[in-house]
Structure 1
Amino acid sequence: MLLFIALLASPSQAGVVVIVNAENTASDFSQRQLVDLYMGRNLYFPNGQLALRLDQSPSSEIRRTFYESLVGKSVAQVNAYWARLLFTGRASPPQVIRTSKGLLQAIKNNPNAVGYIDEKELEDGVKVIARVN
């Protein structure tokens, strides 16, 4: 009984969704496309537009969940990956936006932006192109 009450009282995430501006023509990204986009292997949407990749705060739970679910790596491992790529000049990491609200606003303001949020935080002006579980 106590476990049931504890589960009800604990905050839970509805799931991580990858979003773009509602006007963006991108739709239904595969896991492979997301991995390539967020790990710097492909920087473009299928329509050829350069994607402005947005990341959540390094200390956020949503970022941990996103990378562990998408690429099977911890935030520390992802940070080490980007440090190596930056050092060699091969790629740059996604731009960090400190809050989900800020990320939503950035995506609403830029038709080429892509980011991820908790599904419970979805708002008008953006659309889901993938779910990461």
Structure 2
Amino acid sequence: MKILSALCACASLMLSVSAMAEVVVVVHPSNGVTMDSGDISRIYLGKLKSFPGGGPVVPLDLKEGSSTRAAFVDKVLGKSESQLKAYWSKLVFSGQGQPPKSVDDAEMLSLVASNPNMIGFVDAANVNDTVKVIARF
């Protein structure tokens, strides 16, 4: 009986991982930037302070606990939530950087739509025509 229970739990976990929503990276519609996952990762880790074309970039993050954020951190940054928190704690403590501002989904779209220097990410299902999708994960 314990084996059956363990198999059901394992199958449930696999299904929930495969059912993860698609995460999209968005910018202001007037922003003509093209970026790969490496560029996006460097921006969100504070290693790149401008868009590839040279304009300043202001990354926005979703609040902790968001499943979209967890997927982004895993797929794009290649870290766990705890690893990312430790990474930023070290940079903040040493005075080498500040993490991106955390906002909710609605605020993310609103801020990106109003500022060509901002970049953000949301669940693909939440995208509207006020922003431009530049990457999908």
State the TM-score, normalized to the length of structure 1. 0.85
2:117 is the alignment partner of 1:112 = yes
Cα root mean square deviation, aligned = 1.7
Q: Which aligned segments of 4 or more residues in structure 1 are displaced greater than 3 angstroms?
A: none
The answer (yes or no) to whether the contact 2:26–2:133 under 8 Å persists in 1 is yes
Identity of aligned residues (%): 34
The answer (yes or no) to whether the contact 1:19–1:128 under 8 Å persists in 2 is yes
- How many pairs does the alignment contain? 122
2:21 is the alignment partner of 1:44 = no
* Greater RCO, 1 or 2 (C-alpha within 8 Å, sep 6+): 1
Match of 1:64? 70
Gapped regions of structure 1 (runs ≥ 5): none
2:23 is the alignment partner of 1:23 = no
The answer (yes or no) to whether the contact 1:13–1:119 under 8 Å persists in 2 is no
Give the structure with higher Rg (CA): 2
Where do residues 80-91 of structure 1 align in structure 2 (5 Å cutoff)? Answer: 80-91=86-97
**How many angstroms apart in 2 are the aligned matches of 1:13 and 1:118?**
10
The answer (yes or no) to whether the contact 1:13–1:120 under 8 Å persists in 2 is no
C-alpha deviation, 1:111, in angstroms: 0.9
Match of 2:84? 78
C-alpha deviation, 1:92, in angstroms: 1.3
2:134 is the alignment partner of 1:129 = yes
2:41 is the alignment partner of 1:35 = yes
C-alpha deviation, 1:13, in angstroms: 4.6
C-alpha deviation, 1:72, in angstroms: 2.1
**How many angstroms apart in 1 are the aligned matches of 2:65 and 2:21?**
19
